[in-house]
Amino acid sequence: MTRHLFISPSGLFVFYILCFLFIGFPVQAQNNGRITVTISNGTTGETLTGQPVSLLRHRSESEEAQVVEQALTNRAGRYVFSNLPADGAHYVVETRYIEMPYTTGHIGIEPGTAQQDVQLNVYDITAEDTNLMLSAVHLVIEVSPNVLDVTEILVVRNNGTRSYFPRPDVGEGMILSLPAGAFQLQPLVEGVQRTAQGVLYSNPIPPGDSQIVYRYNVERASVNHLLSRQMDYNASRIQVLISPSSETVMASNLTNEGVQQIGDKSYLLLSNSVGLQQGMSISVEFPSILAWQDVMKWVILGVVMLMIIAGVIIGIRTHPEEEEQEKPLRTLSSKDAQQFDSIIHSIADLDDQYEAGELDEKTRRRQRKKLQNKAIRLRISEARDE
């Protein structure tokens, strides 16, 4: 006789419950996660009870962060953010201490890493900058005939146990100097702005490393093709990258390390691994390049003056009554040569003023003719004096 298994309705109910417990729960656990955060005072080493914390969520850098939850830490300085979807989104824990914001890095909640424990330290503040130094100074210089395009990447190290953050009645923040002739400052991180002293970085600087990045231009002619950068704090390591890498430069307090390939671009690398004390400087001298407009101006001016002098000589030879007085021109005396050179430069200045729109054509011709006649008379009178 064949027996058939029979499951009563109550037996099916128990079977479904067991399936739910042993199959459903693991799936739910994989699809949700939690973040346990502990807030401590890094200056005193104590955990903070009742410290406000917020959890922010965003799926991409371009997406605006959304506040998921706000809460207070328990007696142990902890709080657990639970039931967080493990869908690859990024979370950030944020808190404020003495009106200063502190945040964690990106925290990912994904299957397999659904439980994250993070430590967030806050610090007391100080207006003293004695514990600040530049652990690294990077200058990236793009060279063109007239302008240097400079990007500075500064790694500031706070070796203390307090955040550097001057009160408004004490100071504004970290002051950094700019090279002479710098213009068009472009902040590349928050907290950077231009001041009369140079660059002001107004964000707090907690213990550890912080990065300050900005960009500016320097007109080469205004600094005589010499770029100098003074160290505002003790600097451990300095690197200068110059593009194009074929530039021939002379440097002070820097060693030429040759051409370095970074990505698909090559740079000339100058470095200082010994470090510089506060107040010392590095400098890079670029070869002086005379613009083709200036070259042509001086060539044309020289040709014109030769033609004028040649015309005077020919004019003298065409008058018989003056043949007896004709004598070859000789080299001017030192005093007259200086006066002659001064006249030539004055003519060149007139041409510059005319090209800049500072003189009209009529005024330029009148003054130019006076100077030319003065130069001619100087040579003729010298010849007759002989």
What's the DSSP call for residue 355?
A: H
* CA proximity to 109, closest of 90, 94, 92, 82: 90
Final residue of a structural domain among 122, 148, 168: 122
Is residue 91, in this structure, part of any structural domain at all?
yes
Is residue 240 within 8 A of residue 270, CB to CB? The reply is: yes
Question: Which residue range is the domain that position 24 belongs to?
Answer: 9-122
Is residue 3, in this structure, part of any structural domain at all?
no
Round to whole Å and give the CA distance between 43 and 218: 42
* Same domain, residue pair 274 and 297: no
Q: pLDDT tens track of the chain, all 386 residues?
A: 445 444 455 555 555 555 554 444 444 445 788 999 999 999 999 999 999 999 999 877 677 889 999 999 999 999 999 999 888 788 999 999 998 889 998 898 887 777 899 999 999 999 999 999 999 999 999 999 999 999 999 999 999 999 998 766 556 789 999 998 899 999 999 999 998 889 999 889 999 999 999 999 999 988 989 999 999 999 999 999 999 999 999 999 999 999 999 989 999 999 999 999 999 999 999 987 654 455 566 667 666 677 777 666 666 565 555 444 554 554 567 777 777 777 777 777 777 777 777 778 878 788 878 877 777 776 665 444 44
For the chain, the domain total comes to 3
* Same domain, residue pair 110 and 164: no
* Same domain, residue pair 94 and 149: no
* Same domain, residue pair 356 and 211: no
- Predicted TM-score of the model (pTM): 0.64
Round to whole Å and give the CA distance between 163 and 123: 6
Is residue 156 within 8 A of residue 209, CB to CB? The reply is: yes
Token pair 């510059």: residue = 352
Cα–chain center distance at 69: 37
